[in-house]
Amino acid sequence: MSINAVSNNPLPSALPVLCVGEILFDRLADYPAEDVEAVTSWHCYPGGAPANVACALVKLGTDSGFLGCIGADEAGEDLKQLLLEIGVDLTGLQVHPTAPTRVVDVLRNAQGERRFAGFQGRSTFCFADAFFQGNTIPDRSFQSVEILVTGTLGLAAPHSAQGIEIAIQRARIAGAEIVVDVNWRPMFWENIPLAEAIVSIRHLLTQAHWLKLTDEEADLLFQSQNLAQIQAHYPALKGILLTAGAAGCHYWIHGHQGYVPAFTVDSVDTTGAGDSFLAGFLHQLLTHDRSQPLQNPQHCHQIVIYASAVGALTTLSPGAIDAQPSDQDVAQFFDNKNLL
């Protein structure tokens, strides 16, 4: 079955970041609830980790493109129009003629922490993003790419797993660095043994230059949160960011290790905060001359502080993309706190 490409305006003169993977709607419960049956009303917010990162980058001032697949339905059209309005390049966006755009039920507690609760009874493999094809991405998408960002959810489906692998190889040929955000969500790996999922994720990490993961993901994949030890298993890694929500972020960047506590804010919804954190980090990373290692430990620390602020600001209102701050918002946040 053929998948159609989305036409788009010509690429910007420089498109430094491509994000590949899922784009979807988070159907967020309007009020805290323990299970789906207890929810009386919902609100849909655009999301999907790679799409979140692409949008957050543009809002911060870094051009980005998104590679993925939506359904030929109202939800897919809404997502496409939103990303175009934000300014994300969609040269590599595909449309599946029959598979629907993914919708995820998201519950949250009184503290705003979210829990993913399923796909309204559907199999995870029936959605359009599971059919993404890497061999149909236009060559011009990779002309100026410096960084390719991907997660691990697409590895669960054969088509999207192959598509991500092809995108990575094409980006590497173009000289780009690969960023992997583990983003572990068990419900995406329907009927796939945990051991098999871990093998797939670890294989992806052998191709990564930068790794973002949570403390729980580090325990799952490595039985350790020792970043130097993790890097020793993947020597190509230039940096590791280990986030732990309100407990802050530990990092290892070119041998420099450090910790940044989380900012104290009145969180409403934490959905997408980690994606905004990653976008903030990449936005700052691209302002550095990456032909030279980040030798200054203080500079590494400041980059992570900036990323933490972007993540914190995203929790101040519901939704992932809707809540993302601009670079000016981040600057105002620092001014108010007399930081940086």
Domains recognised in the chain with CATH numbers: 4-337 (3.40.1190.20)
Percent of the chain with pLDDT over 70: 94
Q: Mean pLDDT, to the nearest integer, of 203-225? A: 98
Helix or strand run (H / E) with residue 310 = helix 297-314
**pLDDT at position 147 over 90:** yes
285-303 pLDDT tens trace: 998 776 677 888 999 999 9
| pTM score | 0.92
Q: Looking at per-residue confidence, does 27 or 55 come out higher?
A: 55
Q: Mean pLDDT, to the nearest integer, of 63-78? A: 98
Model confidence band, residue 18 (pLDDT cutoffs 50, 70, 90): very high
**Inter-axis angle of helices 327-337 and 297-314, nearest 10:** 100
The token pair at 36 is 């789906």
pLDDT at 12: 55
Mean pLDDT check: name the lowest of 83-97, 113-127, 225-239: 113-127
Closest of 48, 57, 74, 75 to residue 154, by C-alpha: 48
Q: Mean pLDDT, to the nearest integer, of 256-282? A: 94
Contact 255, 264 (CB under 8 A): no
Q: Is 330 helix (H, G, I), strand (E, B) or coil?
A: helix
Give φ, ψ of 192 to 5 degrees: -100, 125
Which amino acid does the sequence have at 155? L
Please count the CA atoms within 13 angstroms of the CA of 222 that sit on its side-chain side: 21
Q: Mean pLDDT, to the nearest integer, of 206-225? A: 98
Model confidence band, residue 161 (pLDDT cutoffs 50, 70, 90): very high
* Average pLDDT of every residue of the chain: 92
**pLDDT at position 90 over 60:** yes
Q: In what order do the strands lie in the sheet with 102-108?
A: 42-47, 24-29, 102-108, 114-118
pLDDT at 113: 73
pLDDT at 26: 87
Q: Looking at per-residue confidence, does 339 or 142 come out higher?
A: 142
pLDDT at 318: 82
pLDDT at 110: 76
Residue 115 CB contacts under 8 Å (≥ 6 apart), including other chains: 106, 107, 108, 109
pLDDT at 293: 72
92-114 pLDDT tens trace: 999 999 999 999 888 878 776 77
What is the C-alpha to C-alpha distance for residues 335 and 319, in angstroms, rounded to an integer?
25
